[in-house]
Amino acid sequence: MPSDVLQAVLQHADFTPTVSSYADICHAESSSSAALADAYFAAYPPGIAARTLKEAQSEMEETFAHEYGQLLENASFVALQQGTPIGAIFVVEESIWDEDLFGPFIIDLFVDPRHHGHGLGRTLIAAAMSACKNHGADTLSLRIGDGTSGAALELYKRLGFRELA
């Protein structure tokens, strides 16, 4: 298994679902893909995710079209501020990139940088972890890469994500 895969054992993970006073957290819906593209595009350094806003819109549409795996709508969430998406987490049934990795997999987590510092990343991850656990999943996995900030990596570790041995 590649060393860039992190996994949380949900029964041992240290997460508590929280409610955000900064944004509303709701289930992700395909109707919000165009609006999500703005936050997605803003969230990553240039060239890491989408190179253009049009590419970001296409990637959001592909996410909801299950191009990156079967989206678990009950474990995928959007952070909304006054109805505008400012962040999201998308979870699929399993990774399409890792044949030996089973169980729910986070394909994306992002928060528009203008809204950092309000605990939205933690709130989104905790919501996904709780939903996966409540639906019988034992683990939740993700990949880290060039777009993963040090703060995100520390958050994953605090929530119980560890490198696979």
Residues 9-31: pLDDT tens digits? Answer: 999 877 787 788 899 999 998 77
Count of alpha carbons within 13 angstroms of residue 86, beta-carbon side: 21
Give me the domain span that covers residue 104.
Answer: 5-163
Q: Residue 83's pLDDT is what? A: 92
CA nearest to 161, candidates 145, 142, 147: 142
Total structural domains within the chain = 1
Q: Which amino acid is at 73?
A: E
Q: Residue 17's pLDDT is what? A: 74
Q: List Cβ neighbours of 96 (8 Å cut-off, separation of 6 or more).
A: 68, 69
pLDDT bracket for residue 147 (50, 70, 90): low
Q: How far is CA 23 from CA 20, 80, 82, 84, 85, in A?
A: 6, 5, 8, 9, 9
Residues 27-68: pLDDT tens digits? Answer: 998 777 888 999 999 998 877 889 999 999 999 999 999 999
d(CA 74, CA 28): 8
Q: Residue 79's pLDDT is what? A: 96
CATH number of residue 59's parent domain: 3.40.630.30
Residue 103 gets the label, from left (phi > 0), alpha (psi -120 to 50) or beta, of left
Q: Residue 2's pLDDT is what? A: 52
What does R_g of the chain's alpha carbons equal in angstroms?
14
Neighbours of 129 (CB within 10 A): 28
